[in-house]
Amino acid sequence: MKVIKNIRDKIRPHFAPGGKYEKLHRVWEAFDTFLFVPEKTTTGGSHIRDAVDLKRTMVYVIIALIPPLLVGIWNTGQQYYQAVGIDPTIQEAFVFGFMRVLPIIIVSYAAGLATEFLFAVIHNKEVNEGFLVSGMLVVLILPATMPLWMVAAANIFAVIIGKEIFGGTGMNVVNPALLSRAFILFGYPAYLSGEVYTYTKVQEGHQLVDGYSGVTPLSLVAEGQTEALPSDFNMFIGNMPGVIGETSFAAIMLGGLFLAITGVGSLRIMLSVFAGGIFMAGLFNILALNEYMMIPIHQHLLLGAFAFGAVYMATDPVTAAQTGKGKYIYGFMIGVITIIIRVVNPGFPGGVMIAILFMNVFAPLIDHYVVEANIKRRLKRLKHNQAILKK
Amino acid sequence: MSENTNNNKEPLFSYKNKKLLSNPIGKNNPITIQVLGICSVLAVTVQLKPSFVLAIAVVSVMGLSNVIISLLRKTIPPRIRIIVQLTVIASLVIIVDQVLKAALYDVSRQLSIFVGLIITNCIIMGRLEGFALYNKPWPSFLDGIGNAAGYGAVLLAVGFIRELFGSGTIMNQQVVPAFLYEIGYENNGLFILPPMAMIAVGIMIWIQRYRDPELIDVS
């Protein structure tokens, strides 16, 4: 740490106003405050500042994302080896998956951060590190087979249209990571259709197992083959085809627990998304018009990205509802809409991401009515009390 | 006629008249500034050709209807002016529609209802109400052409972007080279969908206001 600090003190004047690289001052600042505690001191009013600033909050989310990422990397290898009919050791699977996932992570961060730094330098604003989390989330909601240039294009689109247009981190209406997935979903639907999620460019000496399809469980159910689902245990630990981060319910719950304990992610939203999902799945179970409607409730929660969306996507503090009651409504509706899209809409096998984008747009409206209702209730109480006092 | 003889004769392309023509293309664009006529921008701009044809159609309808209403402006009773305007526009649109069907049947099929819907294009009614009713034929003509050109310019720009990225073609000619497809490039399906037209127009509005800050609080 001492060494880094010495280097930092040495090159620092170049970036200060008047220095050689004055224009890159904001870039310098971004890295500086990432590595060291910001030196800003308050000038007036309150003098107590929480050490947990935006950057540190983001780091908490990154920590929470580690379990699904690790399981996702392992699973990418695991699925490949299953496709070629080999039973790999955990290490083999992990190494294979790592070679597939690492490029996606690098490209995702490079494209998104480059755009963000560019805007910060042009507008001479502080670089917002919201993309630190978005960049990782994007990787976790894309399959390992995604062409890298699409990841880059989607991230650039999402940062500009989803964030910079509205004024940067904290101003966005919809979740940038989801926007970049939506860009790919509508722009290049063939790559997110749920049928090409396993890396099937076979290496030398390997051969695909006869009749291997690699269809995700969600697509299987959508086609009515409910009996072909993986076992509940496999779905729980994440041994099934799917996008990188979504498969393992167990790992996601671990991350969710961390988010809930540190208070970074809202437990209310997580729970109400699950409540909404259970409610709607139960309702379909009662209706039972086709096979999809009859799959057990717990399988709905294990399938696809339901848990991932509930824990990491719906709880994004910027785009979610802010009020207490609003959070319940917001989460519940996400759960309900997700299951409706899954079961009723034949176009998209998975619905969580679309449901969350949809509710992102409605979050301010929900908040507005919750606040209005609160004002009305208190006015009523005030009038009531005044009436009593007059008597 | 008395008006003409009384005033000092104004040159055909005086500064004022030039402004009538150029303002709507840039600083007072009907789409990016007044945000009128958005519906057809979203609907017909999947490819450049229909956008181009619709732009031409709107230019001719708007120029002529402005002239006609301007000529009639003293005889139209104010109470029924809207219906008169509508009749004039509708007649012109029918002529344009028939010409399209005779000369460019494919494109007219592609444009389908949107030729007919030129009648309800807010820009045309707006210019008749706001300009042609109170001005002489020549300035009215320029105003009509200018506004239609401003509309057409946006239409063409959006059509160009959407066809290039959505289908890899321009005017149905392949422009994205084949080797790009071989190394993995693909056309973006999002550009075929109408929402992309809205995003494209939004970005145009953004860029225009970024370059010219005095426009920022106009609307």
pLDDT at A39: 63
B3 has pLDDT over 60 = no
Chain A contact probe: residue of B176, B188, B191, B198 with most A CBs at under 10 A? B188
Element (H, E) at A188: none
pLDDT at B2: 40
Is B217 a domain residue?
no
Q: Is there a contact between A68 and A248 (Cβ–Cβ < 8 Å)? A: yes
Tell if the CB–CB gap between A165 and B189 is shorter than 8 Å. Answer: no
pLDDT at A254: 94
Q: What does the alpha-carbon distance between residue A103 and residue A252 come to, in Å, rounded to a whole number?
A: 23
pLDDT at B5: 45
Share of chain A above pLDDT 90, in %: 41
CA distance B35 to chain A (A): 18
Q: Hunting for tokens 């040159």 — which residue is that?
A: B11
Q: What does the alpha-carbon distance between residue A267 and residue B108 come to, in Å, rounded to a whole number?
A: 56
Q: Both tokens of residue A87?
A: 């039973």
Share of chain B above pLDDT 90, in %: 39
Q: Is there a contact between B92 and B111 (Cβ–Cβ < 8 Å)? A: no
A173 chain-B contacts, CB cut-off 8 A: none
Q: What does the alpha-carbon distance between residue A268 and residue A315 come to, in Å, rounded to a whole number?
A: 9
Q: DSSP letters along B50-116, please?
A: HHHHHHHHHHHHHHHHHHHHHHHTTTS-GGGHHHHHHHHHHHHHHHHHHHHHHH-HHHHHHHTHHHH
Q: Is there a contact between A221 and A292 (Cβ–Cβ < 8 Å)? A: yes
Q: What does the alpha-carbon distance between residue A113 and residue A127 come to, in Å, rounded to a whole number?
A: 9
Among A33-42, A126-135, A143-152, name the one with the lowest average pLDDT: A33-42
| Of the candidates A89, A65, A62, the residue with the CA atom closest to the CA atom of residue A78 | A89
Q: What does the alpha-carbon distance between residue B16 and residue B197 come to, in Å, rounded to a whole number?
A: 33
Facing residue for A188 by CB, picked from B189, B193, B199: B189
Q: What does the alpha-carbon distance between residue B116 and residue B210 come to, in Å, rounded to a whole number?
A: 35
Is B86 a domain residue?
yes
Domain boundaries, position B167: 34-204
Q: Is there a contact between B48 and B163 (Cβ–Cβ < 8 Å)? A: yes
Q: Both tokens of residue B126?
A: 């707006």
Q: What sign has the CA pseudo-torsion A171, A174, A175, A177?
A: negative
Query: Measured at the alpha carbon of residue B66, what is the angle toward residues B65 and B67, in degrees to the nearest 5?
Result: 90
Please write the tens of the pLDDT for every residue from A210-223. Answer: 777 777 888 878 77
Alpha carbon A312 to chain centroid, angstroms: 5
Q: Hunting for tokens 């719950």 — which residue is that?
A: A253
Tell if the CB–CB gap between B185 and A149 is shorter than 8 Å. Answer: yes
Q: Both tokens of residue A386?
A: 């005044």
Name residues 147-186 of chain B within 8 A of A (Cβ): 184-186
Q: What does the alpha-carbon distance between residue B52 and residue B58 come to, in Å, rounded to a whole number?
A: 10
Please write the tens of the pLDDT for every residue from B118-129. Answer: 888 888 988 999
Query: Measured at the alpha carbon of residue A125, what is the angle toward residues A120 and A131, in degrees to the nearest 5?
Result: 50
Q: Which residues contact A286 (CB under 8 A, 6 or more apart)?
A: none
Q: DSSP letters along B2-42, please?
A: HHHHHSPPPPTT-HHHHHHHHTTTTTT-TTTTT--SHHHHH
Is B107 a domain residue?
yes
Q: What does the alpha-carbon distance between residue A122 and residue A118 come to, in Å, rounded to a whole number?
A: 6
Tell if the CB–CB gap between A147 and B184 is shorter than 8 Å. Answer: yes
B95 has pLDDT over 90 = yes
A176-187 and A131-140 helices cross at what angle (nearest 10)? 40
Which residue in chain A is spatially nearest to B198 when comparing CA positions? A161
Tell if the CB–CB gap between A161 and B199 is shorter than 8 Å. Answer: yes
Among A5-19, A88-102, A247-261, name the one with the lowest average pLDDT: A5-19
Q: Distance of CA A372 to CAs A363, A382, A385, Å?
A: 14, 15, 20
CA distance A282 to chain B (A): 35
Number of structural domains, chain B? 1
Q: With a threshold of 0.90, tell me whether the complex ipTM lies above it.
A: no
Which residue in chain B is spatially nearest to A160 when comparing CA positions? B203
Q: Both tokens of residue A358?
A: 């949809």
Is B46 a domain residue?
yes
Q: Is there a contact between A144 and A199 (Cβ–Cβ < 8 Å)? A: yes
pLDDT at A364: 94
Q: What does the alpha-carbon distance between residue B92 and residue B124 come to, in Å, rounded to a whole number?
A: 12
DSSP-based helix, strand, coil % in chain A, nearest 5: 70, 0, 30
Is B69 a domain residue?
yes
Tell if the CB–CB gap between A186 and B193 is shorter than 8 Å. Answer: yes
Tell if the CB–CB gap between B184 and A183 is shorter than 8 Å. Answer: no
Highest average pLDDT, of A31-45, A282-296, B127-141, comes from B127-141
Q: Both tokens of residue A175?
A: 């979740």
| Position B1 confidence tier, pLDDT thresholds 50, 70, 90 | very low
Please write the tens of the pLDDT for every residue from B7-43. Answer: 556 777 788 888 888 888 888 888 888 888 888 888 8
Q: Is there a contact between B30 and B151 (Cβ–Cβ < 8 Å)? A: yes
Quick check: B199 contacting A, CB < 8 Å? yes
Q: Both tokens of residue B115?
A: 């030729």
B202 chain-A contacts, CB cut-off 8 A: 165
Element (H, E) at B174: strand B173-174
Tell if the CB–CB gap between A149 and B188 is shorter than 8 Å. Answer: no
Q: What does the alpha-carbon distance between residue B198 and residue B202 come to, in Å, rounded to a whole number?
A: 6
Q: What is chain B's length?
A: 219
**Across-strand partners of B169?**
B174
Please write the tens of the pLDDT for every residue from B161-187. Answer: 999 999 888 888 898 888 888 888 888
Is B2 a domain residue?
no
The count of C-alpha atoms lying within 13 angstroms of the C-alpha of B49, restricted to the half-sphere facing its C-beta, is: 15
Q: What is chain A's length?
A: 391
CA distance A151 to chain B (A): 12
Confidence (pTM): 0.85
Q: What does the alpha-carbon distance between residue A200 and residue A84 come to, in Å, rounded to a whole number?
A: 9
Quick check: B83 contacting A, CB < 8 Å? no
Domain boundaries, chain A: 23-38+53-202+220-264, 266-391
Q: Which residues contact B59 (CB under 8 A, 6 or more apart)?
A: B145, B148, B149, B152
Tell if the CB–CB gap between A189 and B189 is shorter than 8 Å. Answer: yes
CA distance A375 to chain B (A): 32
Which residue in chain A is spatially nearest to B199 when comparing CA positions? A161
Quick check: B193 contacting A, CB < 8 Å? yes
Is B22 a domain residue?
no
Chain A contact probe: residue of B165, B190, B196, B210 with most A CBs at under 10 A? B190
Which 3 state secondary structure label does DSSP give A40?
coil
What b/e string do you get for A204-241 counting C-beta neighbours within 10 Å, with b at 16 or more?
eeeeeeeeeebbbbbbbbbeeebeebbeeeebbebbbb
**Across-strand partners of B174?**
B169
Share of chain A above pLDDT 70, in %: 92
Q: What does the alpha-carbon distance between residue A302 and residue A352 come to, in Å, rounded to a whole number?
A: 12
Is B68 a domain residue?
yes
Quick check: B191 contacting A, CB < 8 Å? yes
Facing residue for B184 by CB, picked from A149, A161, A183: A149
Tell if the CB–CB gap between B193 and A147 is shorter than 8 Å. Answer: no
Q: What does the alpha-carbon distance between residue A303 and residue A299 come to, in Å, rounded to a whole number?
A: 6
Q: Both tokens of residue A364?
A: 């301010």
**Across-strand partners of B170?**
B173
The count of C-alpha atoms lying within 13 angstroms of the C-alpha of B199, restricted to the half-sphere facing its C-beta, is: 16
Q: What sign has the CA pseudo-torsion B126, B130, B131, B133?
A: positive
